[in-house]
Amino acid sequence: MIFLTFVLALVTLASGARYTADWTSLDTRPLPSWYDEAKVGIFIHWGVFSVPAFDSEWFWWHWQGQKPPDPNCVAYMNKNYPPGFRYPEFANEFHAQFFEPEEWANIFNASGAKYVVLTAKHHEGFTNWESPNSWNWNSVDTGPHKDLVGELGEAVRKRSMHFGLYNSLYEWFHPLYLMDKQNGFKTQEFVLHKLLPELYNMVVRYRPEVIWSDGDWEAPDTYWNSTQFLAWLYNDSPVKDTVVTNDRWGAGCACKHGGYYNCEDKYTPGQLPAHKWEKCTSVDTLSWGYRRNMKMSDLMDLPTIIEDLVHTVALGGNYLLNVGPTPDGMIPALFEERLRGVGAWLYVNGEAVYASKPWRVQMENASVPVWYTSKGDSIFAILTTKPPKSTVQLLEPKTSANTKVMLLGNPKPLSWSPIKPNAGLAIALPELPCTAGQAWTLKLDGVK
Ligand SMILES: *[C@@H]1O[C@H](CO)[C@@H](O)[C@H](O)[C@H]1NC(C)=O
Ligand SMILES: *[C@@H]1O[C@H](CO)[C@@H](O)[C@H](O)[C@H]1NC(C)=O
Ligand SMILES: *[C@@H]1O[C@H](CO)[C@@H](O)[C@H](O)[C@H]1NC(C)=O
């Protein structure tokens, strides 16, 4: 018996720390290293909201939830649908008949992304997998009649990308949730009978390596049982060694507790944060879900996306770029073009991005704005504006006799001269290649 206890103790030690269900313990977990190295991910908002594809993925709430409702959404429904039409009827039109998970995964891989995060369930409650806790309100019973989560996950993993799932804690109109809310969140009927069984099941079935939690803000983490769930996730789940999560685990958690921090949608810090973070943003600046009335002028153009990505990575963040597929299962061609453009830029400049670390200085306004990253002894200076002259000045790097400067994508070292002894250099640029991303990377070795 004593021997057995001894062996058990060793096994526990060998399997690493165990976390207790409180933030003091959970917040000490180191992030699995793949996540910081990955830097770039693709976010996908897909669900029944992709069918009306009007307003945004918040359409149902704007139409029938918030008080007063959004007059545009009400007018749209009155004009185009028969009286009494109910939102769940849209699910019948969610066909996904052109959904080719292999094709999607090819596009995401071609974007240079290292992870993909799909909405397993948004605030409407519809699950893109056959959740036993979401009877008749999931993609297998209704609409596509397909396991969208499972099919995409397999295709993504086949290409060595990591697969993550977005999951909304709250559901706007779930009767148990509405009841708990009415009880001031003193009861947990929704959490114990819907949310948690579904979430545990989702993790065991699909082994997501990112759990992108959302919809937490109306109730405290104690209502959601977030710390109990995360302790299981980190100690005993099938993804305990590789999973990462964000910070949306209850009111007041954002930017404070969890894995990496999202803080808020499209959050961009002014300076280097102390904690790993991720910027999520969307090619369509007005929506995360597909909109049929999207215009080209609503979209981020490629140079804007690259600038945003570079800015994010220089400040230690990951960049999660969203596209909204159509209900027939297509990635709109304009989104595909943006993603392939990001990939073409990363193909040349990825050395400055993947597995990079923030440098001593993250940006300077020299001849043009310059964002810095570093890797080992190399530093990278990324120019997001074409310099007006054929030389560019960098003021922050401290040069030495061994300083060597390259332009990524160009085989020959560039000549340079010091500006002051030991501080700053002027670099003679070759003809800059016309890249779709409008950003160029200088690699500097032998500088401090
Ligand atoms: C994924 O993308 C990388 C980089 O662009 C490419 O080298 C690789 O062949 C792609 N893999 C697949 C399976 O398409
Ligand atoms: C939820 O949390 C309470 C403590 O707040 C705990 O007693 C209960 O076992 C937890 N339930 C689950 C399913 O995690
Ligand atoms: C560089 O210029 C931009 C735009 O004027 C400004 O927002 C930023 O703070 C400046 N950065 C530094 C490091 O001076």
User: Is the model's pLDDT at 76 over the cut of 90?
Assistant: yes
Taking 50 as the threshold, does the pLDDT of residue 253 lie above it?
yes
- For residue 16, is pLDDT > 90? no
Angstrom distances, CA of residue 229 to CA of 35, 178, 195, 235, 265: 21, 22, 11, 10, 23
Question: Which atom of ligand 2 is least distant from the CA of 191?
Answer: 13
Residue 147 above 50 pLDDT?
Answer: yes
- C-beta 159 within 6 A of ligand 1: yes
Q: CA-CA distances (angstroms) from residue 319 to 147, 275, 315?
A: 27, 15, 11
The Cα angle at residue 377 between residues 374 and 382, in degrees rounded to 5 = 30
111 Cβ inside 6 Å of ligand 1: no
Average pLDDT, integer, range 60-78:
98
Calpha distance 269→262 (Å, rounded)? 11
* pLDDT tens profile 346-363: 999 999 999 999 999 999
Query: Other C-beta atoms within 10 Å of 423: how many?
Result: 13
Backbone angles phi, psi at 408, to 5 degrees: -60, 135
pLDDT by residue (tens digit) across 389-434?
A: 999 999 999 999 999 999 999 999 999 999 988 789 999 999 998 8
pLDDT of residue 420: 87
Radius of gyration of the chain (CA): 24
Please tell me the distance between residue 17's alpha carbon and the centre of ligand 3 in angstroms.
43
| Cβ-proximal residues to 166 (8 Å cutoff; 6+ apart), any chain | 43, 45, 117, 118, 119, 120, 121, 122, 212, 213, 214
pLDDT(2) > 60: no
Residue in 192, 225, 230, 233 to alter for ligand 2 test, most ligand atoms within 8 A of Cβ? 225
pLDDT at 86 over 80: yes
CB-count burial class (<10 Å; 0-12, 13-18, 19+) for 103? middle
Q: Can you give the pTM of this predicted structure?
A: 0.95
Tell me the best of 228, 232, 235, 236 to mutate to test the pocket of ligand 2, counting ligand atoms within 8 Å of each CB and taking the most.
228
**Residue 205 CB–ligand 1 contact under 6 Å:** no
**Which positions ≥6 away from 335 have C-beta within 8 Å?**
283, 284, 323, 324
349 lines ligand 1 (CB under 6 A): no
Per cent of the chain over pLDDT 70 is 96
Atom 5 in ligand 3: residue holding the nearest Cα: 365
Residue 7 has pLDDT above 80, yes or no: no
The more confidently predicted of residues 422 and 5 is 422
Read off the pLDDT band of 13 (50, 70, 90). very low
Residue 379 Cα to ligand 3 middle (Å): 20
Q: How many angstroms separate the alpha carbon of residue 376 from the centre of ligand 3?
A: 27
Picking from 345, 382, 355, the residue whose alpha carbon sits closest to that of residue 366 is 382
Mutate to test the pocket of ligand 3, among 363, 371, 395 (most ligand atoms within 8 A of CB): 363
- The CA 393 to ligand 3 mean position distance, Å, reads 16
- Ligand approaching nearest to the C-alpha of 347: 1
Q: Give percent of the chain above pLDDT 90.
A: 94
| Best residue for ligand 1 mutational test, from 40, 104, 159, 347 (most atoms within 8 Å of Cβ) | 159
Residue 287 has pLDDT above 90, yes or no: yes
> What is the structure's pLDDT at 422?
77
pLDDT tens column, 320-353: 999 999 999 999 999 999 999 999 999 999 999 9
Please tell me the predicted confidence (pLDDT) of residue 10.
46
Q: At what angle do helices 148-158 and 196-206 cross, to 10 degrees?
A: 40
Tell me: pLDDT of 141 over 70: yes
pLDDT band at 435 (very low <50, low <70, confident <90, very high): confident
What is the Cα–Cα distance from 140 to 163, expressed in whole angstroms?
A: 20
Q: In this structure, which amino acid lies at residue 73?
A: C
Q: With cut-offs at 50, 70 and 90, classify the pLDDT of residue 9.
A: very low
Helix (H, G, I), strand (E, B) or coil at 291: coil
- Using CA atoms, how far residue 226 sits from 117, 182, 285, 322, in Å, is 20, 20, 31, 26
Angle (CA) 121 281 291, round 5°: 65
- Give the residue whose CA is nearest to atom 11 of ligand 1: 159
Distance of CA 365 to the CA centre of its chain: 29
Euclidean distance between CA atoms 447 and 424, whole angstroms = 10
| Lookup: tokens for 333 | 């061609």
Span 27-55, average pLDDT:
98
- Looking at every residue in the chain, the average pLDDT score rounds to 95
Domains annotated for the chain, with CATH where assigned, are 23-352 (3.20.20.80), 357-445 (2.60.40.1180)
Distance between CA 143 and CA 128 in Å, rounded? 10
C-alpha 134 – ligand 2 centre gap (Å): 21
Ligand 2 pocket (Cβ < 6 Å) reads: 196, 222, 225, 228
Burial class (CB in 10 A: 0-12, 13-18, 19+), 44: buried
CA separation for the pair 149, 202 (Å, rounded)? 10
pLDDT band at 11 (very low <50, low <70, confident <90, very high): very low
**Would the CB of 167 count as within 6 Å of ligand 1?**
no
Q: Is the CB of 109 under 6 A from ligand 1?
A: yes
Instruction: Identify the bridge partners of residue 117 per DSSP, sorted by sequence position.
Output: 43, 164
Please give the pLDDT value at position 17: 78
Atom of ligand 2 nearest to the CA of 196: 13
Res 15: pLDDT: 55
Amino acid at 98: F
Q: Which ligand is nearest to the CA of 158?
A: 1
Q: Give the integer Cα–Cα distance in Å for 364 and 248.
A: 33
- Residue at token pair 């490629």: 302
What Cα–Cα distance (Å) separates residue 410 from each residue in 81, 266, 413?
A: 58, 34, 8
Residues in a beta bridge with 43: 117, 322
Torsion sign across C-alpha atoms 315, 271, 27, 115: negative
SS3 content of the chain, % helix, strand, coil (to 5): 35, 20, 45
- Distance CA(90)–CA(128), nearest Å, equals 14
